[in-house]
Amino acid sequence: MQLQVYLLLNVSYAFISKHKIIKIMMNNLSLLLPKNRRPVLPANFNSIDGELDNELSRLIDIPLLGIITAGKPIERVEQSEQVKVPANMVRKDTYALKVSGHSMIDDNIQDGDIVIIEKRQSAENGQSVVALINNEQVTLKKFYIEADGIRLQPANPDMAAILLKNEEVEVLGVVTGVIRQFE
């Protein structure tokens, strides 16, 4: 049996096959989300439960464009596949990338996860982005504007930041969700 977990904003659902939805309770969800993004469920959560189930049960195909490293930047690896995601995870110009590496583990982005990306050319400090470096290499890192350029910061204390001049970095998109599959 395969289990897929979709992480978006304050609610997470696990899908077992296409028919049965299991809600992950807050205790388990807290283990999957970074400390600063752990959910506080509203008191009326049960009354909106059915509405969320209905919305999350609708799956939409989005392009899975290739591999992104969460580690040392690599040259673009593009492919042309599709991945099904809940409709509420899809925004304007949304695509997916498969993660390779461990530099984003403190943001609960693991090797093998699929990240949902909203195509954008700008980002706010602290957002996880797909960054193009020197028009050649791509990587998944947290984005920070510094006085002397751009810092691409891994969410892993064992890895060093990448410091670049403004003209050496182009934001290709911002992470809006994560899909993790369990066998």
Provide the pLDDT confidence category of residue 94 given band limits of 50, 70 and 90. very high
C-alpha–C-alpha distance, residues 180 and 18, integer Å: 15
- Strands (DSSP E) contained in 40-76 are 59-70, 74-75
What was the pLDDT predicted at 18?
35
98 in catalytic set? no
Higher pLDDT, 174 or 8: 174
What was the pLDDT predicted at 148?
93
What was the pLDDT predicted at 4?
54
142 in catalytic set? no
Report pTM. 0.70
Q: Which of 98, 103, 128, 142 is catalytic?
A: 103
Q: Which of 12, 98, 128, 141 is catalytic?
A: 141
Q: Which residues contact 154 (CB under 8 A, 6 or more apart)?
A: 70, 71, 103, 104, 141, 142, 160, 161
What was the pLDDT predicted at 98?
92
Q: How many CB atoms lie under 10 A from the CB of residue 180?
A: 19
Residue 5 has pLDDT above 80, yes or no: no
Give the DSSP H or E segment for 26. Answer: helix 26-32
Domains of the chain with CATH codes: 3-59 (no CATH), 63-182 (2.10.109.10)
Higher pLDDT, 98 or 26: 98
Tokens of 6: 């979709």
